[in-house]
Chains A and B, each alone.
Chain A
Amino acid sequence: QKEVEQDPGPLSVPEGAIVSLNCTYSNSAFQYFMWYRQYSRKGPELLMYTYSSGNKEDGRFTAQVDKSSKYISLFIRDSQPSDSATYLCAMKKTGANNLFFGTGTRLTVIP
């Protein structure tokens, strides 16, 4: 079993829709939870990170962590064509430098 599971999609939504992206994990030692965005033929870039449980909001993006369920989510409000990318969740244990990545979900926002 992989430590981090993510539905690869692809996911296609109309412009303006609310998008929900999710990951589950098995290791309760993970404390840092991140979302990376990767445009086609580019390297991933950090979008948001959260420490432990709770929500974090940044503009149209909201990251949620539910440690009791070992489940994290990224919500995108008012989705735009420029949001079309692959979104990768990533997790880290406190005291470690390595990240564990999900497989990524490919999102297309149709104008």
Chain B
Amino acid sequence: DAEITQSPRHKITETGRQVTLACHQTWNHNNMFWYRQDLGHGLRLIHYSYGVQDTNKGEVSDGYSVSRSNTEDLPLTLESAASSQTSVYFCASSESRGLAGHGELFFGEGSRLTVL
């Protein structure tokens, strides 16, 4: 069965360290997204990609970067982790249907990051 996997599921790091969260999907979806989920804010879009070599900033992109070198993977990098980046991070993917359709997102199980 196709799926989307995130790693690590849990990580504790220190302020100032670089952190990379991995996301791998086997749906063969063109669209991939990174969200963070915090109490009181819901899901907020960090970065997204519509295909290989394409990346775009979302609502809360400061301090984060992504790269898309193949269809399956969209790693999220925190260049210099800050305590404000303590959160649960979700990767998601969706089909590209010529921008039509409801664009169902398929989510991974999340990566819980704590920055001390």
Chain A residues packing against B (C-beta within 8 Å): 6, 8, 32, 34, 36, 41-46, 49, 51, 88, 90, 92, 94-99, 101-104
Q: How large is the interface on B (under 10, 10 to 19, 20 to 34, 35 or more residues)?
A: 20 to 34
Please tell me if the beta carbons of A32 and B102 are within 8 angstroms of each other in the complex: yes
Q: B42 is contacted by which of A43, A46, A95, A102 (Cβ under 8 Å)?
A: A102
B90 within 8 A of A: yes
Please tell me if the beta carbons of B109 and A42 are within 8 angstroms of each other in the complex: yes
Q: Given A97-B50, A98-B48: A104 and B104 within 8 A (CB)?
A: no
Task: Tell me, rounded to whole Å, the shortest Cβ–Cβ distance linking A46 to chain B.
Answer: 5
Given contacts A51-B102, A94-B100, 13 further A-B contacts (CB under 8 A): A6-B42, A32-B102, A32-B103, A36-B105, A43-B108, A43-B110, A49-B102, A92-B103, A96-B103, A97-B31, A97-B48, A97-B50, A103-B41
Q: Given A45-B107, A51-B102, A92-B102: A97 and B43 within 8 A (CB)?
A: no
Chain B residues packing against A (C-beta within 8 Å): 31, 33, 35, 40-45, 48, 50, 58, 90, 92, 94, 96, 99-105, 107-110
